[in-house]
Structure 1
């Protein structure tokens, strides 16, 4: 149970009580007490039990910030007592702030009712909701009560998700590309501009834990939509040429002074990785490391050349296959500490088809977001 979650919910409930909206409030027909009910989107409810409208107006005389600070103190005391109660029974703790401060600016009485479940394996009970009654007494007037019911459904859902065998999410990979095993071919001569040869990937993932609740072993898969940029240096341009009826992809030096010359590709990949994810007692990941492989398909590619001509910026863009390998496969590696993860992908097959273009293998590396 997180105290801040409960305080935030209560603060929202209390703050909402001032700008009351018609659709969130129901006023019963006049009776012994009038009740103003405020329903919130997060499931919390707040009741103002009033004898008359003057009591409603009187609540503006109390500082909500002070009330939140006060409740922080008393909920903390209630939590300490709750830890000793592991039988799952509901119980109420009462406090009288007005006796601590004779200024009359504090509530006369605060009742905190804790609703718990059966004790867990560690001997601790789980709180399902707080019922908080705050009673105010103004001199010469009848008592007014502020009631708030704060459920912890969201916390329970998070606890269930933390212990679930399955998990899913979304990562964004940002990094750079480099070419390996180029030998002495034109790709090695031309070279790549490091900061211009970017790698971007959008990858929704699905994780399955292998073993019991405390097992650090996971399998991860999903889909990677990857965008690779290869920014050539020294005015080299990628071109397709014909020779004896055969099509080849080559790099040729352009006589113009080029501002940009690049090859851009889009691929979709299916990864599969084995992960070790070590977590703390709260279920938060501290250190993780994983390795595996991927297989993918080339969706599309284009070249782009940017240059100055007659004082104007010109761009030439050409779409094509450029004899790139349609299917690709390789190795993946990931390592992370707390909120920072680094990755590396290595293509085992070459960027271009054998005998149809320069020899090269792609290595992508960077950071996961």
Structure 2
């Protein structure tokens, strides 16, 4: 909790630089080609002239050589005689074991390189500049980890049709039957434009009945969709089921993981937003284990609003598995999923049904 508060304070400090004094520092961006830039920040012109003492070419060569080895926490560059370029020359690369606070959600990242509240508190009054710059990031990590959110609509199908085509009592209302998923995802580069998205997450199915006047009940042998008492004025009826999932989707990313980065930096605080480049698509599979189940029925009786919520398995299958397709272009990602097994256990679905499979589609944030 302390680190979350620290991160939120950092974001406020970053977004309100007027709390600090104006800076007279200079920033120079040197564009070498369409893929490389050197950004130099100095407090004044005199400090910029001092950079002439550094052998930048040798630094870059040694850095490239070091990056080809295993993951590095710190590189202290040395010249051919075993001496540092200058007494204070140290390049820090990667996270290593330092106590940085990093929060990543979707295409946003907040990084705070401060250990204590007092460190950030001091920066409110320090003479620190706010730097804004853009650059294109190459996909150099073998595996990159991030969090995302799936948000969309779900329904269920009988064979090749939806139940509402036959006015079935278990027909689902397309708008309002929400699907929501929280995912921890890894993207591993395989070769060329081929990547593998894999990870775990928690998701919720919410099937809202087309006809609000529907009582969802667990019968002796199967789930039942019954009419409520005549005195009820029905408002809403739905069935929900959460699942713990694992997912594996091979992806073709023709931009090879490149992203455009917008960076906002002040002191020990760094806030970045990423925008993916090019087109990408893939298809793979998933499997999930049910964590629970519940129904909600909202109605009025005698001008009094009532809400009945009940928990149970409702003959929902314990395991789900299916296929997932993803497609994206620049900052937009879409997904679709289809369960290959039925929503309810064998011969436990509603009377008259011919097997019901969940289908979902939406956007990934």
Q: TM-score, normalised by structure 1?
A: 0.59
| 1:163 equivalenced with 2:137 (yes/no) | no
Aligned to 1:113: 51
347, 350, 354: which is aligned to 2:339? 347
Aligned-pair CA distance for 1:361: 0.8
State the secondary structure of the residue aligned to 1:113.
Answer: helix
**Structure 1 residue 233 displacement after superposition:** 2.0
Question: Distance in 1 between the 2:252 and 2:201 partners?
Answer: 21
1:58 — aligned with what?
none
Alignment match, 1:241: 219
The unaligned stretches of length 5 or more in structure 2 are 1-13, 34-39, 68-74, 77-87, 97-134, 261-275
Q: CA deviation at 1:314?
A: 0.6
When residues 320 and 217 of structure 1 are mapped into structure 2, their CA distance, relative to the original with a 3 A threshold, is same
Is 1:264 the counterpart of 2:202? The answer is: no
Q: Cα distance, 1:278 vs. partner?
A: 2.2
Alignment check: 8 A CA contact 1:272 1:294 kept: yes
Name the residue aligned to 1:363. 359
Distance 1:206 1:117 in 2: 34
2:156 equivalent to 1:179: yes
**CA shift at 1:189, angstroms?**
1.5
Displacement after TM superposition at 1:195 (Å): 2.1
- 1:224 paired with 2:210, answer no
Instruction: Call closer, same or farther: CA 1:343–1:281 in 2, change over 3 Å.
Output: closer
Per mean C-alpha deviation after superposition, the further-off stretch among 157-166 and 215-224 is 157-166
Q: Is the 8 A contact 2:138 2:258 kept in 1?
A: no
- The CA deviation string for residues 129-169 of structure 1, in whole angstroms up to 9 with x for no partner, is 9xxxxxxxxxxxxxxxxxxx998747999999831111111
Give the structure-2-normalised TM-score: 0.59
5+ long unaligned stretches in structure 1: 1-11, 20-63, 85-91, 95-105, 130-148
Query: Is residue 137–residue 258 contact of structure 2 (8 Å, CA) maintained in 1?
Result: no
Q: How does 1:6-85 map to 2 (within 5 A)?
A: 64=22, 67-68=24-25, 71-72=26-27, 75-76=28-29, 79=30
- How far off its partner does 1:279 sit? 2.0
Query: For the aligned residues, what is the CA RMSD?
Result: 4.0
> Alpha-carbon deviations, 1:75-131, whole Å to 9, x = none?
34xx37xx59xxxxxxx9x9xxxxxxxxxxx978952516425456xx9xx9x99xx
2:187 equivalent among 192, 196, 207:
207
Contact 1:276–1:290, Cα closer than 8 Å, also in 2: yes
Using the alignment, how far apart are the partners of 2:321 and 2:181 within structure 1? Answer: 16
Tell whether 2:253 aligns with 1:277.
yes
Secondary structure at the residue paired with 1:111? helix
User: CA distance change for structure 1 residues 353 and 150 in 2, over 3 Å: closer, same or farther?
Assistant: same
CA contact (8 A) 1:174 1:201 kept: yes
Whose relative contact order is higher, 1 or 2, with alpha carbons under 8 Å and at least 6 apart?
A: 2
Judge conservation of contact 1:161–1:167 (CA < 8 Å) in 2.
Answer: no
1:283 to partner: Cα distance: 4.9
C-alpha separation in 1, matches of 2:196 and 2:162: 40
Structure 1 residue 300: deviation in Å?
A: 0.4
Larger Cα-atom Rg: 1
Q: Would you say how many aligned residue pairs link Structure 1 and Structure 2?
A: 253
Seen in structure 2, the aligned counterparts of structure 1 residues 110 and 224 have a Cα distance that, compared at 3 Å, is closer
Residues 196 and 109 of structure 1: is their aligned pair in 2 closer, same or farther, counting only changes over 3 Å?
Answer: closer
Q: Following TM superposition, where does structure 1 have runs of at least 4 consecutive aligned residues deviating by more than 3 angstroms?
A: 106-110, 117-120, 149-162, 182-188, 280-285
SS in structure 2 at match of 1:210: strand
Task: Spell out the pairing of 1:317-336 with structure 2 (5 A cutoff).
Answer: 317-336=309-328
Distance in 2 between the 1:316 and 1:172 partners?
29
Residue of structure 2 in register with 1:31 after alignment = none
The CA distance in 2 between the partners of 1:110 and 1:296, in whole Å, is: 57
Q: Residue 273 of structure 1 aligns to a residue in which SS?
A: strand
